[in-house]
Amino acid sequence: MADHRPAILDAALEIADEGGLAAVSMRAVAERVGLTPMALYPHVGGKEGLLDGLLERLLSEVPLPGPELDWASRLRTLAHGLRAAAARHPAVFGLLVSRPSVAAGSLLVIEAVFQALLAAGVPAAEVPRVERLVSTFVIGYATSEVSGRFSAGTVDVRTRVGQLPPDELPAHRDLVATLAAGIDADAEFAADLADLLAMVESVAVRATAGQARSAKQPRTRVGRR
């Protein structure tokens, strides 16, 4: 009859947003959608399939940058879009690091990163590696932020340092002032991205220099910021 898959994923996403991943049970999803738990199986194929569906939903929400932007702006758009998706759906986003995710949505994001890196002048042989490097950071950052890995340690530096004899943590002691200031996650993410994009450019420049040495082809520096 009707394809209930979209409605099932809607319900599951709502439950995940409201009560975390632990609240997403086949029974709870079924109840919200007005079906028996077993009625979900033909549509999502079990719990794993349901979670894959949620991840696909989340990735399809990430806006792809238009081709009119320069490569650095395109990477920034993607990174901020991914981080925004994490803020909207923290529980589901946590699945991203730990799941293969062969979803079509993830393919399109990767494709956009590939195009940006090629436009930046990163040699083809290095593009997949650099894509994984940048993606790993962005996904890792958003996950850490959303799961509390960042905020937990920094709440009270004194008690943290107090866990061990003070002379075992000299750098912590020297940085107490900075650490006590806490984290401005928005600013930090932007600063990290700036450093990483500079890194991408230096990979590109390094390749061009090697190529110029043998074939002397100059190359225009792509503007940042």
Partner DNA sequence: ACCTGAACACCGTTCAAGT
Task: Give me the residues that bind DNA (CB under 7 A), please.
Answer: 1-2, 4, 24-28, 35-39, 41-43, 46-48
Contact criterion met (CB below 8 Å) for 34 and 81: no
Least gap, CB of 189 to DNA (angstroms): 33
Contact criterion met (CB below 8 Å) for 18 and 59: no
Please compute Rg for the chain using Cα positions. Answer: 22
Could you please report the per-residue DSSP string of 8-29?
HHHHHHHHHHHH-GGG--HHHH
What is the rounded CA–CA span in Å between residue 225 and residue 213? 29
- Site residues for a second copy, window 75-114 (CB under 8 A)? 94, 96-102, 104, 106-108, 110-111, 114
Residue (46 or 148) nearer to DNA, CB: 46
Residue (163 or 217) nearer to a second copy, CB: 163
Q: For 150, how many CA atoms within 13 A lie in the half-sphere containing its CB?
A: 14
What is the rounded CA–CA span in Å between residue 140 and residue 135? 8
What is the rounded CA–CA span in Å between residue 55 and residue 102? 10
- Site residues for a second copy, window 116-175 (CB under 8 A)? 118, 124-125, 127-129, 132-133, 136-137, 139-141, 143-144, 147-154, 160, 163-164, 168-172, 174-175
Least gap, CB of 34 to DNA (angstroms): 7
Count the site residues for a second copy by CB under 8 A: 62
User: Contact residues for a second copy (CB under 8 A)?
Assistant: 94, 96-102, 104, 106-108, 110-111, 114-115, 118, 124-125, 127-129, 132-133, 136-137, 139-141, 143-144, 147-154, 160, 163-164, 168-172, 174-175, 177-179, 183, 188, 191-192, 195-196, 198-199, 202-203
